[in-house]
Structure 1
């Protein structure tokens, strides 16, 4: 299992980004009313009926020459001629209105044409001022037809007006990209960073499990994804270790010169210390409370001296505390269990004494770990 080496807080970039994207998507697009389009459509309506009236006047003039009324003249015109007139109007105004619809308008009198024009303009303005998006144009046309039908008295006039109006209808809303982006940025900045808290000893990835993107984010934040050598930490540990060794040698030289001058005893002391540190490193993967300082304390006390054992217990506990995953709790437990171990075997003369010492150490460790758990409000590791 991969465990957290300590208490740690970090910004969960993926979760933060997801929340910000969600906040941005929650902001609807901002649309502004395009008054220019409304005015252009009204102008096209006016120009269209102005043209229709102009062509109607030509028909009236030709009918006077023939001593016929407008209706009879219109009837005498062929469909091709009427279509040609309607086509000319479309070309002049740049419109695409059904030519038959325009041709039908030639048959109306000026009063009827004016009524149709007014109905179209009023209905068109009402619908366009409500706001029409590009993708809502078809629905707006249906609404426009209903509006014209409600205000028109003659059904045929309403059909003519509806065909003309739907041909001229344009979207009246345009996307305000700048304002939309501004609001989305404000929504994004309003989202606070997602802070994740990882407790010391917390399992990040269990052995055999496939790492998820969330797991990789935690590893990356802890510096475990692509671990780099921290030379400053290494130098600091070397300096502390050197000072501790110097203290031990000075202590032995001053108080135990016989041991200081004995190469075999120094080697024994070194082997015990190195062996305990290695075991502590392995044990820390399971729990920091399993570090075997008490064993080293007993061995040194029995083979060398209880006083030397006390000094080495404190020094080894401090050194082990600097290991990844170490901490003040583990140092405290190691020091106390080591001193208790030394006291327990001070008069050990037989195997039963060692058994009794082991039970005492276990009992003391349980009490200390329970007390630390109550203080830190945490369970056993």
Structure 2
């Protein structure tokens, strides 16, 4: 990849780190600016108690907190209070009546014993009753929780003391019976007064002597007590459970908030305000959220390129190229998003989502392409959300993700433009499947025409991805000097002007170049280098020989050797100049830098031994440096392999019928000579890789120069080995 001249000027003023950081900042600003409009809340010009200008629908699922709270309060109010029965309440009340009346009888009995039998025959006087009242009060319980003495008046107690034993027994029976009936039905604390009134009515239905009816009622009211007590803890538990079981009052996405022409009530206005749909509402949250998203995107890119193991210059070029493709993809999204505003349903699915992944895979590599597909799928969920505030569209994100990934995976071969178109068709099929998944999963019913629209959108998305990839590819290749596999295949065509010239003017050199290409490609692939680059580089590495083709032995057919008629110096200049002449021709025809470098470097700074020793034999005072190629030495593994293959092919071809041992010896000798001459000191090829290169060259040469069977003369006339 070549660096653009404009970028070189900028780099001359800025350091690598500063330039890269500025690039990331600029990219972050661009991404934020492009997505800003998609998170900016879209508000409505509406006021309270006005008619709705149109039917307003919820942009997303919304929880009506006010209605939910009201529903919870209603649920809590419906919970019945929990009352716990008081154990032994009835027994306590009946025991109290029995004890009190028993005390009355005891006091009366004691009074009789003290006065004697005769006096007892006399009716009791007021003095006697007063004494008995004192004795009775002394016997009654003094418990402050149930102080009968204070609860019953003296008149009631006197009435009981004046009553006969039979009357008291009848009072006890009636009061306890009626009290049990009431208490067995349950008496709550707040219902105690009502229970007392009920008991009074029941007792007064019976006839008693004198004031005994009133005393019986008073006695019953004192004795009766609640049998059910309010359990606050259990009641609270039930209320909380009822509150928890209340479902939230939700307005689903797309649900109607207010119909066209309906009044904007305070409740409706509150909902619209909560959704950020009213003009007087403003929130920084969407912008902060977008800033965080951009921070994650830029941070991911920064970390990815920081850990990329390439030179700083190439890393910077990768970043610039990736950023440009990223911005172009975002702009395409925005354009489709604007078309979507024309109320064409689901036009977002026409987005050429696979374009980014396909072009980055061709120009750079799969890792960068895959990372950008994930980032753009997240961006698409923001661009196409179609909401009043910053929600996201998961469906389009899934669609974009699978479409982009499939574009990378289906682009198996990048060597022909037809493969890109075929990959686009496969992407379209994947798009149809993903759309089918999304439609069927939603359970929404569509008409036949709508299904046709979806299929057309999916097909256009895949094919447009291929068309955009093919259309943008030459611009990126030319602008960044990128030598893609497709460009290499185009350059390998014999119809290329320089190759046609080489084939016409120097056919021997052309054949030699093809043979070297076969050797170099296999060797480069064996060590993990770019075999296609090596092949195409070999086609052009000797194109400079077409300037003076007859000075090179492979083109000297049925003619004398011109070197026999010129001085060694002239021969040296002609032979050495073919590398620089070839580089000039390649630059003139604007071939990629990698091809030009191979033409310049394939001889390195090797010594032109034949003419050097020829000059020395003629007794001339020559220096070795004068008979060396100007270089530079091979800078890449591909150039190093080509330099070996070029010499090996020429050496083996000079042999009449080389054996495997001779081929192996020649290859080893040439490689060792280059090593000792330091020709590989400036490239990253290792000794282990050189051994692999030697083995590959030997295998290929043995296949080319294999022994042939000698057929009898008559048979040989019609057949060839």
Query: Same fold judged by TM-score > 0.5?
Result: yes
Q: Deviations over 1:300-345 (max 9, x none)?
A: xxxxxxxxxxxxxxxxxx99x82774799xxxxxxxxxxxxxxxxx
- Bigger radius of gyration among the two: 2
Matched, 1:149 2:204: yes
Residues 268-279 of structure 1 aligned to structure 2 (within 5 Å): none
Partner residue in 2 for 1:234: 294
Alignment of 1:92-111 (within 5 A): 92=142, 94-95=147-148, 96-111=151-166
> Quick one: distance in 2 between partners of 1:8 and 1:123?
65
1 or 2 for the larger relative contact order (CA 8 Å, sep ≥6)?
1
- Matched with 1:122 is 177
What pairs up with 1:59-98 in 2 under 5 angstroms?
59-64=111-116, 67-69=118-120, 72=123, 74-77=124-127, 80-92=130-142, 94-95=147-148, 96-98=151-153
Compute the displacement of 1:198 (Å).
4.1
CA offset at residue 37 of structure 1? 2.0
Contact 1:33 1:172 in 2 (8 A): yes
8 A contact 1:216–1:225 mirrored in 2: no
Between Structure 1 and Structure 2, how many residues are aligned?
Answer: 271
| 1:181-200 equivalence runs, <5 A | 181-199=236-254
Q: Distance in 2 between matches of 1:179 and 1:6?
A: 40
After TM superposition, the score normalised by the length of structure 1 is 0.56
CA-based RMSD of the aligned residues comes to 4.7
Aligned runs of 1:1-381 on 2, under 5 Å? 2=43, 7-64=59-116, 67-69=118-120, 72=123, 74-77=124-127, 80-92=130-142, 94-95=147-148, 96-152=151-207, 154=209, 156-199=211-254, 212-219=269-276, 225=283, 227-228=285-286, 229-230=288-289, 231-234=291-294, 242-245=324-327, 288-289=341-342, 322=383, 325=386
Q: 2:103–2:140: 8 Å Cα contact kept in structure 1?
A: no
Alignment check: 8 A CA contact 1:59 1:70 kept: no
Structure 2 distance, partners of 1:104, 1:246, is: 109
Contact 2:63/2:248 (8 A) holds in 1: yes
How far apart are residue 153 of structure 1 and its match? 5.1
Distance 2:255 2:101 in 1: 83
Q: Give the Cα–Cα distance (whole angstroms) in 1 for the partners of residues 255 and 249 of structure 2.
A: 19
Unaligned regions of 5+ residues in structure 1, if any? 249-272, 291-317, 329-373, 377-381
Please give the alpha-carbon distance, in whole angstroms, between the structure 1 residues aligned to 2:257 and 2:283.
16
CA offsets 1:99-139 (integer angstroms, 9 cap, x no match): 22112111222221111111111111111112222222221
Regions of 4+ moved over 6 Å: 200-204, 208-211, 236-241
Supply the distance in 2 between the matched residues of 1:46 and 1:21 (Cα, whole angstroms): 48
Alpha-carbon offset, residue 234 of structure 1:
3.2
Distance 1:6 1:242, change over 3 A: farther
Listed one character per residue, the Cα deviations across residues 120-169 of structure 1 (whole Å, up to 9, x for unaligned) are 11111111112222222221111001111234454643222111111222
Find the aligned partners of 1:247 and 1:171 in 2 and give their Cα distance.
80
Name the TM-score, length of structure 2 as normaliser. Answer: 0.32
- Please tell me whether the aligned partners of residues 182 and 199 of structure 2 are also in contact (alpha carbons under 8 angstroms): yes
Partner-residue secondary structure (3-state), 2:156: helix
User: Partners in 1 of 2:326 and 2:178 — Cα distance?
Assistant: 94
Gaps of 5+ in 2: 1-41, 45-55, 302-321, 344-378, 394-448, 452-721
Work out the CA distance in 2 between the residues paired with 1:242 and 1:200: 40
For residues 43 and 201 of structure 1, do their structure 2 counterparts lie closer, same or farther at Cα, with a shift above 3 Å needed?
A: closer
